[in-house]
Every structure is written in structure tokens, then in C-alpha cells.
Amino acid sequence: MTSEDNPAPASATTTPDGASATDLANLHEVANRIKTNVQKVVVGKDDAIDLLLVALLCRGHALLEDVPGIGKTTMAKALSASLDCEFRRIQFTPDLMPGDVLGVNVLNMQTGGFDFRPGPIFTQVLLADEINRATPRTQTALLEAMQERQATIDGETRALPDPFIVLATLNPIEMEGTFPLPEAQLDRFMLRITLGYPTQSEESEILLRFNDPAVEPEISPIMHIDELNDAQHLVTTVRMDDTLRTYLLQVIDATRNTDELQLGASPRAAISLYRASQAWAAISGRSYVVPDDIKAMLSPVLSHRLIPSSQARLRGRGTDAILVECARGIPVPIER
């Protein structure tokens, strides 16, 4: 069932406190401009770009997972170039050490003290390229930063810049020389985004547009930091009716009470689903959440956090199919 099946969503008659129609229209317009900017180098992929915008507006982190050559790194770099933010990239490799990510204290021979040399994590937009190639020890260096926006080096805690967003890429099919991401780190990624292969018409456009490697599309910043901060605050004011919040929590609870899942959604996952639904409504130009917003966010927000049971894996049941089944058994709230 979708919201189109319902005469009116339960939240459609309410408006958020502090948010005006003009503010939301401006946010919708800026989101479209960023999407157009990214599509100078990424052909199509509207849904994937929208999901990146959701992560951006919710101060969340995104994991781009797909086969090589799809455009994961290109998309992440294009989004970063569309923001007036500091950008750094880390190429994760098996020999990468935590100090290479966080930074180190170096002895100053002149003063006899130690000077801190910050690592690339001290930036606003961090591209963690092929994150699963680093050892678990190095991967865990990101845990504190992703959750608390700070990093502790040699017992001293240092705040990270604001905003701080991690865009990580991952190749799911190559296992040699890679390490699986721990569940604690997967849970810190707000969204998992898959791009998929382009259509034939999109691939034809790719061949024509990038036939000459010397000609690269120029991407200029669309959104400045102050605008981004205002947009992130505006998203939190998007209205979600009590009945929809109950519906969301029922879906979360269903993942914890099904035999097909060994690990259900965490409270952090519930918070992420709530915020992502608000952001999806906002970039759609609405000041309220409808049931389809929650449904659209189920797979990107929850699928990478869940672990199917051994019986479900034997039957070939993935987390996406199990999520659909969990949601299907819960009545969608409507306004009567």
C-alpha cells in the first residue's frame, strides 16, 4: 500500500512550527540546483543523489556501495564540490594506520614539546575511498568521529569542524585484501546507497559527454556553510504526525521480533529513519511527512544495519525483502 492509495495522509493537514512555505520552497530549489550540479558529471541517478542530499541535511554519513566503475567516487566528489566546505580524501589501504587518519603528535626539537599535526579527518567533508580495504584497527579510528564529531589522540580530545560528513565507498564483490566493516561502524552510517548500472540511454549520454578526457565539466559551490546550517535546522521542523511516528516505531519493532533477522534495528536506526523521512519530505517540497516518505527510507536507512538469520540466508532472503515483509504487516495510518 502507498500513500496514493489513501485519500489523505494523517499529517497532511498540519504545518511545522517555525517553518514557512517560502523556507521550504527555497530548500527544494537549492536541492534541485545541487542535483543539477552533480549531474554535470554523473548521468542520471536521481534517487542516489537525493539520498546523498538526505544524509547532508540530516548531518548523517553515507556509504556508497556498488561494483567498480559505477561512479561512486565521482558522485561523492561532485557533491563535495557543490558545497562551500573543506574537502579531503583518504585512500584506504591495508597498511593505513590510525595515525594516518587522525593525526599524530610530533616532537619539536626546538621547544622540546610536541606539536599536533592533524590528519585528514579534520575536515568538513571526508571521502573515505574503499573503506573496507583498511584493517579493523584503522576502521575503528572513525567510530568516535562519526558519532561524536570529535577525535581523541594521545588522551586529548579535539573537536572536528562543523559540519562533518563522511562519504565512504565500498566494493561489495572484491574480497581479497579487504576487511568486513564491523556492525558498530555500519550502524554509524545513516544511509547505504547503491547506484546500479546505467540504462542504455544514460550510458549513451556518458559516452558522448566524456568522449574527450581533456574537457571536464566545471562544478562550482552551490550552497555555503551558513545556508547548509539553516537547511539542516529547517529539516528538523518538518512535521511528523503522532500516528506516523507510531507507524515508524512499529516497523522498527517488527525488525526486532521476526525470526528472519538475527539483529534488528537499533535506537540509532530509529532516529536515523525519523530524520531521513523528514529530509525526504523537505526536498520533495513538503512541510509534513507522509507514509511514503518513511517507506522510501526503509531500505537505505535500515538494510545495512540488519543481520538475516541463518535460515533466512539459506532461503535466499535478503534484508530488503525482509523489510518489505515487516512493513507489509503494519497498517498504514490514514486520515479518516
Summarize pLDDT for 121-132 with one digit per residue, the tens. 999 989 998 898
Burial class (CB in 10 A: 0-12, 13-18, 19+), 63: buried
Q: Determine if the pTM surpasses 0.75.
A: yes
Average pLDDT by consecutive 10-residue portion of the chain (336 residues)? 43 46 81 86 86 92 85 84 87 90 86 86 91 88 90 89 89 74 88 87 86 74 84 90 93 90 89 95 89 93 89 84 86 74
Percentage of the chain beyond pLDDT 70 is: 91
| Residue matched to cell numbers 566528489 | 77
In DSSP notation, 285-316 reads: T-SB--HHHHHHHHHHHHGGG-EE-HHHHHTT
| Residue from 71, 67, 26 nearest 52 by CA | 71
d(CA 31, CA 284): 9
Shortest CA distance to 276 belongs to which of 123, 42, 55? 55
pLDDT score at 3: 44
CATH of 1-19+238-336 given 3.40.50.300, 1.20.810.10, 1.10.8.80, 2.60.120.200: 1.10.8.80
Residue 2's pLDDT is what?
Answer: 44
Rounded-to-integer distance, Cα 68 and Cα 2, Å? 34
User: Is the distance from CB of 57 to CB of 232 less than 8 angstroms?
Assistant: yes
> Quick one: pLDDT at residue 217?
75
Provide CATH code, domain 33-97+124-210+220-236. Answer: 3.40.50.300
Contact between residue 60 and residue 272 where contact means Cβ atoms under 8 Å apart: yes
**Three-state secondary structure call for residue 249:** helix
Domains 1-19+238-336 and 33-97+124-210+220-236 share a fold: no
Other CB atoms within a 10 A radius of the CB of residue 79 amount to 28
> Which helix H or strand E contains 235, and what residues bound it?
helix 225-235
User: What's the confidence (pLDDT) of residue 251?
Assistant: 93
Residue ranges of domains in the chain? 1-19+238-336, 33-97+124-210+220-236
pLDDT at position 53, please? Answer: 92
Q: For 177-197, write each residue's pLDDT tens digit.
A: 688 888 888 899 999 998 888
